[in-house]
Structure 1
Amino acid sequence: MPIRNSIRVVLLAIVLFLGTIAQHKAHAAGTETLIVAGGCFWCVEADFEKVPGVIGAVSGYTGGKTKNPTYKEVSRGGTGHYEAVKITFNPSRVSREELLSMFFRSVDPTDAGGQFCDRGESYRTAIFVSDKAEKTLAEAAKAEAQATLGRKIVTPILSTQRFYKAEDYHQDYYKGKKLVITRAGPKSQASAYKFYRKSCGRDARVKQLWGSAAPFAGG
């Protein structure tokens, strides 16, 4: 291939590469993130990935001091971390206010000791904010939810800290096909998730608190 043609091919490849980066940045600029803790992160991830306008949800750990925590460390306690979910969404399709309202109505925000059958610090509820505007919206959503529920909401609004992505096997657990052993015998991850969610009483409690306003109760 002549040198001139080779240069043209290289330049074209560079232009295409830069164009891809530009498109990615443009796409990213049109998205926002919301980090919440609502007990078992499998459930929170599964719930919010159903919402139109949500691009994706990632299970992880945040709020504590231990670096690069493992699931075993977090669930054992002492790390200060919450099981949390980072939700990426398109604000032109679903607003932060709407997501916050859904969040409160998908948990028991009156419980300071955990969520449903899961007890301990890692299963507490929380909302993480990165600036004053986000804090204002979170406080307004909390006040509205408390007024609607007529009971004190104990979910704290905390400053965002480093978010650590959980182990790969926790991601999209609710639709996984891998066979796992449960107390009810071997099941696929998806079946194990449904079994866990029902036996933990998550939807029953949310329905009891929020009634028809609960957006995800029922799995």
Structure 2
Amino acid sequence: MKPLALICIATLAALTAGISRADQATFAGGCFWCMEQAFQELDGVSEVISGFTGGTLKNPTYNGNHEGHYEAVQVTYDPQTITYQQLLNVYWRNIDPFDDKGQFCDKGHSYLSAIFVADDEQRRLARLSREQVIRRFAEQRPDLRIVTPILAASIFYPVKEYHQDYYLKNPWRYKFYKTACRRASRLEEVWGKPDKH
């Protein structure tokens, strides 16, 4: 019985060794509808969940109290297909790092940008990416300061309301909101036109 159990455990370990490990990254960049879209269609990303994080209030809700929390997305990804560094590159390209009041037309604490790091390696890479962004704008925008902080990850509260996959479920309303909020045009002002692949 014991040898058989050991064989089963060894077989299971061998099978699961080939399965890609899923990692998670958490980013706040204003409206989580738009941040969902930015990450959801990337190769190697298996799930993007909208929610709240960064505050001390337990069980925040969108239509109720979420004071102190950021609107954020939790990105589950396969690090063998897409790296954390690549996710950081996508993140920066989808925020206005100079806005200390929110993001685009959405203002207030919950709409501020932030990178939430889960461990020392994520912190190291996040700091490196932030330094790269600072250097990029040092000469052309010396009057502006990068305000996006790097914060320790805390409890992530998924939003239970209708916000998950909003851009897919309500494409016309989402497009109107994104255009009216000037998100795409402001991103182009900050970063230039997006690359066409």
The reply on whether 1:60 has 2:41 as its aligned counterpart is no
Deviation string for 1:27-59 (max 9, x for gaps)? 4x6111100000000000011011111111000
Take 1:62 and 1:98, find their aligned partners in 2: how far apart are those partners? 22
Take 1:193 and 1:147, find their aligned partners in 2: how far apart are those partners? 33
1:123 match: 111
1:175 match: 168
1:10 match: none
Take 2:190 and 2:109, find their aligned partners in 1: how far apart are those partners? 22
Matched positions, count: 179
**Long gaps (5+) in structure 1:** 1-14, 177-188
Take 2:44 and 2:145, find their aligned partners in 1: how far apart are those partners? 30
Q: Which has the larger radius of gyration?
A: 1
Take 1:159 and 1:38, find their aligned partners in 2: how far apart are those partners? 16
Take 1:199 and 1:61, find their aligned partners in 2: how far apart are those partners? 24
The reply on whether 1:51 has 2:45 as its aligned counterpart is no
- Indicate the SS of the match to 1:137: helix
Identical-residue share of aligned pairs (%): 41
| Structure with more of its chain in helix, by fraction | 1
Q: Would you identify which runs of 4 or more consecutive aligned residues in structure 1 move more than 4 Å?
A: none
Q: Which has the higher contact order (CA 8 A, sep 6+)?
A: 2
- Indicate the SS of the match to 1:107: coil
CA RMSD of aligned residues (A): 2.0
Take 1:36 and 1:102, find their aligned partners in 2: how far apart are those partners? 11
Given candidates 100, 108, 111, the residue that maps to 2:88 is 100
Take 2:31 and 2:172, find their aligned partners in 1: how far apart are those partners? 16
The alpha-carbon deviation at position 102 of structure 1 amounts to 1.3
34-43 or 161-170, larger mean C-alpha shift: 161-170
TM (normalized to structure 2)? 0.84
